[in-house]
Amino acid sequence: MKLETSPFGKLHDGSDVTLFTITNQNNLTVKIINYGAIITSIEMPDKNGSADNIVCGFENLGTYLSDAYLASYPYFGAIIGRFGNRIARGHLEIEGKTYQMAINNGPNHLHGGKTGFDRRLFEAETFQDENLAGVKLTYLSPDMEENYPGSLEVTCIYSLNNLNELGIEYFAETDKTTVVNLTNHTYFNLTGGKENILNHELELTATKMTEMVEQIPTGKIIPVAGTPFDLTTAKKLNHRFSETPMGYDDNFVLDNETGELKFTGSLKEFSTGRKVEILTTQPGIQVYTGYWNPELVINGKRKFGRFSGVALETQHYPDSVNQPVFPTTILRPGEKYNEKTVYRFVTE
């Protein structure tokens, strides 16, 4: 295992951002910055041994901070919090007290508000041995940041091993009752960005999903059988495109009430032989195929745009705070939040 640190630029307030580059014995390389705990790159060999970056990300901090990127902000590679996904109308009620959250996605609150964890600077500490290397990132979210109650201490640990497994483990503790729903917003494109992701094949163990109306759950859990959302066998992301012309932005139910680290599904692309297997302790996975991803001009070349990557966001369900039958996202003082997701990279 090899781990290197290097400068990645400065934020507008002058704070230094650091890049952590982790490489295993199979030439799989993961790059992470402590701004937003962002995965900027995952370089993976294809079936012929040729390596490409298989996620959406940038090579310099300036692009992450640019108006062009933030104007249609897709959260490339970032940690999402305090609450991933949507809260209907920004309405949050905890222990009888109501909090009005920022409305930043249509009529709803999305991904922690106007300045979520994706745009915060984390403290970083590295670790490594011959079979494992990684970075421990911590952030203290103060009481009432983005109007969430409680000072929340958050830890995110990224680790890469020689089995080609990228682990993402989250911990959190609070001093007041609050809500927590952490996820990672990496977008995969197993062609290395040479094509869009519509020919990628996705398979999920989920036989059910949350029924949604305008991106907000109704509270009903419905079967996927017979619908375009039945991914229980591997299907191309455009397999019923006439019925889903904007692709997917939907929450699938994983039936994982016990919180075990379980196999959830896989994403594969035949021309490269690349496959990503997903394991998680989380009860749900939001699949988003990037319909609104911005097209950007970087070094004179047009990059990204619609369907440039697919996000596989393991998390609790959207709007869980307003749906008492959903797995809870409440965290109380003395309790410890802990979730883990593993992306395993396979070449076939």
Which residue in 129, 138, 186, 156 sits closest to 3, CA to CA?
129
Residue type, 151: S
CA distance 307 to 45: 22
Residues 6+ apart with CB under 8 A from 288: 247, 248, 249, 310, 311, 313
Question: Which are the catalytic amino acids?
Answer: 185, 313
Q: Tokens 């990059």 sit at which residue?
A: 303
Q: Tokens 């594969």 sit at which residue?
A: 268
Q: Where are the beta strands (DSSP E) in 164-289?
A: 165-174, 178-179, 183-184, 187-188, 201-204, 208-213, 216-223, 235-236, 249-253, 262-269, 274-280, 284-288
Taking CA 29 as the corner, what is the angle to CA 28 and CA 33, rounded to the nearest 5 degrees?
A: 155
Cα dihedral value 247, 198, 207, 84, nearest 10: -60
Q: Is 164 helix (H, G, I), strand (E, B) or coil?
A: coil
Which residue in 118, 126, 132 sits closest to 5, CA to CA?
126
